[in-house]
Amino acid sequence: MTASDQIGSVTPVRRRPYGLLLVATPVLLVAWLVIWPIISAVIQTVWTTTPQGQGAVSLDTYSFFFSDGYSLSNLSMTLWTTGVCAVLLLVVCLPIALYLRFSNTRVAVYVQGLAIFPMFVPSIILSFAFIRVLGPNGTVDLLLNSVGLPHIRSPYLTPWGPVIGLVWDNIPLTVLILLSGLGSVSNQAVEAARDVGAGTLALLWHIILPRISNSILVAISFAVLGIFSAFTLPYILGPAAPEMMGPFMQRTFRELLEPKTAITQAVVTFGFCIVFGLFYVRSVAKNRAA
């Protein structure tokens, strides 16, 4: 395959290396600030200097991480949060996307606008709004109190705090990705299935879901990559201990001043996400090439 086949339908003017000069700066930036830090993180955490002054491969930092109760409870809370968020996102966004794909009413335009809207609300404002609405003496409490009902148990500073915030934050892109996948389900395919007698559920299960399974995986991968090491929302809305990997790494790095431990934690998050990361990047690259 030639270059032009992959990136786009362009027949390059002429093959001259001065193109390399134009792309050099951003490419070098990526090499220096993305690829090198990852390699360096792995090397740094497995290479130690022995008391005799010699280098040696050592997995000490990792065995500490995986034997330390606190680290492990942080990791398991991160896994729990990520899993719950992924499931909730699908449960929330799939119906929205299906609805948007198959209706063209004015209500649908409004629903699409709302579903995309969180993209234009920075997560820091979201955090503040969350506290004002669901926090102690927040709007929900006010409303419950005014009709004589008892207070809720606020999700603020519990594991559910980050879950609610992260789901809210990830709705727009999940809906957009699913909607883009649903675009490949033609009206004719649906009508033909109706014609041979498929009910709504059969239609969903046999016609629609198989075609968008890849989009669902992409949406989940994207969400997992974002949520697994989320920082702002868990830091503000989540409990102090156990904490998610994002705040944990930040505290280890800036407050405990143990960069090597923090980098070990980072490499652990890489390890847990690598499958999703590679799948996501492969899908994006494939899409871009097509």
Interface of this chain with another protein, residues 57 to 96, rule: CB under 8 A: 95-96
Which residue in 61, 71, 74, 265 binds another protein (CB under 8 A)?
Answer: 265
Which residue in 121, 149, 152, 192 binds another protein (CB under 8 A)?
Answer: 121
Question: In Å, what is the CA distance from 251 to each residue of 75, 80, 113, 255?
Answer: 15, 21, 37, 5
Q: How far is the CB of 252 from another protein (least distance, A)?
A: 8
Beta carbons of 244 and 74 less than 8 angstroms apart:
yes
The residue (of 18 and 197) whose beta carbon lies closer to another protein is 18
Say how far apart CA 269 and CA 246 lie, in whole Å: 9
Phi-psi sector, 199: left (phi>0), alpha (psi -120 to 50), beta: beta
Interface of this chain with another protein, residues 204 to 243, rule: CB under 8 A: 215, 218-219, 221-222, 225-226, 228-232, 235-236
Q: How far is the CB of 215 from another protein (least distance, A)?
A: 6
Interface of this chain with another protein, residues 15 to 34, rule: CB under 8 A: 15-20, 22-23, 25-27, 29-31, 33-34
The residue (of 159 and 273) whose beta carbon lies closer to another protein is 273
Interface of this chain with another protein, residues 171 to 190, rule: CB under 8 A: 173, 176-181, 183
Work out whether 160 is an interface residue with another protein (CB under 8 A): no
Say how far apart CA 135 and CA 153 lie, in whole Å: 9
Alpha helices in 155-208 (DSSP H): 160-182, 187-195, 200-202
The residue (of 71 and 123) whose beta carbon lies closer to another protein is 123
For the record, the structure tokens of 61 come out as 């930092």
Peptide bond into 95 cis (omega under 30): no
Work out whether 122 is an interface residue with another protein (CB under 8 A): yes
For the record, the structure tokens of 187 come out as 């009206």
Work out whether 14 is an interface residue with another protein (CB under 8 A): yes
Interface of this chain with another protein, residues 36 to 55, rule: CB under 8 A: 36-38, 40-41, 44
User: CA angle 85-227-121, nearest 5°?
Assistant: 90
User: How do strand 47-49 and strand 55-57 relate by DSSP bridges?
Assistant: antiparallel
Please count the residues of this chain forming the interface with another protein, following the rule CB under 8 A.
Answer: 119
